[in-house]
Amino acid sequence: MMPSVTAFFGKEFFHQFRTEAERRKGRRRRVKTPDEKTGSFKNFYTLSTVFNVAQHFSLVAVPMNYMLLIVSILVVAGLAIADEEQKLSWKDDDGLEIKIIKPIKKEKCKIVSQEGDVVDQFYKLTDKDGKEIGSNFGKKPYTFTLGKGQVIEGMDRAMTGMCIGEKRKVTIPGKLGFGKDGRD
């Protein structure tokens, strides 16, 4: 059985999306992932962060009944944010796992990759233990058209629906990669 392959799209990762018509006319839609020094979500709040905010309010001499209300509101807000965070990763029935590392707000998502877009891709492939088995960083990007079967099925599916600036980490099971016999 072929091990799962994890592809992490790092700091230098970018796409160029083009439809076939745009390709013939020479126009490109460029999608570039901005440099992310921290490697974490800016709007990700844990419950401990919520309680730290609540402690800050208690230092301002807020009466206790208001303090309980503030803590309750903050806990509810924290849980709502945590619930939204759950939607940033999913696993399909066939084992394809997608985790959005850098989400883009809906109002800022101007272009979404779709079938027929030409994509220039920088990638790093690792096995399930984290050992690198392939990368094209520092080389030319790999160019292919989404939805045309020019790459493994799992990669085609994982890159469809991405917004400009979005980063994803995907785990592709063997059957959506190179199959049970691997690659020659």
| Average pLDDT of every residue of the chain | 65
Q: How far apart are CA 93 and CA 90, in angstroms?
A: 10
pLDDT at position 84 is: 52
**In this structure, is residue 77 part of a structural domain?**
yes
Nearest to 10 by CA among 154, 137, 113: 137
167: exposed, middle or buried (Cβ count in 10 Å: 0-12, 13-18, 19+): buried
CATH code of 124's domain = 3.10.50.40
Instruction: Write out pLDDT tens, residues 144-162.
Output: 999 999 999 999 999 899 8
Number of H helices, E strands in the chain: 4, 10
- 26 plus 106 within the same structural domain: yes
Considering the domain architecture, whether residues 140 and 171 belong to the same structural domain is answered as yes
Range from 43-52, 69-78, 83-92, 136-145 that averages highest in pLDDT? 136-145
* pLDDT tier for residue 123 given thresholds of 50, 70 and 90: confident
Task: For residue 73, name the pLDDT band (cuts at 50, 70, 90).
Answer: low
pTM above 0.85, yes or no: no
> Does 184 reside within a domain?
no
Q: How many distinct structural domains can be found in the chain? A: 2
Q: Name residue 99's beta-bridge partners.
A: 89, 169
Q: Does residue 105 or residue 73 have the better pLDDT?
A: 105
CA distance linking residue 90 with residue 88, whole number of Å: 7
Tokens of 164: 């400009």
**Same domain as 31, residue 53:** no
Q: Copy the structure tokens of residue 178.
A: 């190179």
Helix axes 64-86, 47-58, angle to 10 degrees: 160
SS3 24: helix
Lowest mean pLDDT of 30-44, 99-113, 127-141, name the range: 30-44
What is the sign, positive or negative, of the torsion defined by CA atoms of 130, 134, 136, 137? positive
Structural domain including 27 reads 5-37+89-176
On the question of pLDDT at 134 being above 60, the answer is yes
Same domain flag for 82 and 95: no
